[in-house]
Amino acid sequence: MLHRQPLRFLGTGLIATVAAVLLGCASTPVGSQAASRAATGRTIAALPGKPGCFWVTDFDGSWTVLNDSQLIVPDPVFSRSYLLQLFTPVPDLKFRHRLGFEVSGPDRHRICTRSLDYLLVPRWVHVPIVAVRELTVPQERRLLLQNHIRLPPGLSATGT
């Protein structure tokens, strides 16, 4: 049984995700699948920060969208931020008002890299999270500036 958290109501089910993945794999040559996995591995390795995990119960419903495939989720309890890399882009992600998580990995209470966890986006399928990276303050600041996002009061352009 999957552990579900608030803020993740979604009209479509896991069946839609599995069907989409199976249809995509069925039409993709085996060599292309291997190349895609290798490219994903290189992309994850190039992400800033170190691999990390955060407790779903600490998610307060706030996030910052960097682009259609990445968002930063703060952990106010431990004063840390995490970069989440999604498996596939979500068009107009920055205009979504609610997001949530479905935790299905072995820990069932934390979102981690390679633990089969999903970002839940209203009117969208479950989007697999392929990487969770714990960010330092300078790394978070750099990502926000690179994506032309105004720095929050706690992250000035010159200090921590």
Q: Residues 113-137: pLDDT tens digits?
A: 777 899 988 877 789 999 999 999 9
As to burial, measured by CB atoms within 10 angstroms (0-12 exposed, 13-18 middle, 19+ buried), residue 157 is exposed
Neighbouring residues of 31: CB distance < 8 A, sequence distance ≥ 6: none
Other beta carbons less than 10 A from residue 158's beta carbon? 5
| pTM, 2 dp | 0.69
Report the alpha-carbon distance of residue 143 to residue 80 in Å, rounded.
15
Per-residue model confidence (pLDDT) at position 36:
40
Q: Is the pLDDT of residue 80 over 50?
A: yes
3-state SS class at 10: coil
Report the alpha-carbon distance of residue 46 to residue 70 in Å, rounded.
13
The two counts, helices (H) then strands (E), for the chain are 3, 10
The distance of Cα 54 from the centroid of its chain, to the nearest Å, equals: 12
Per-residue model confidence (pLDDT) at position 106:
67
Per-residue model confidence (pLDDT) at position 9:
36
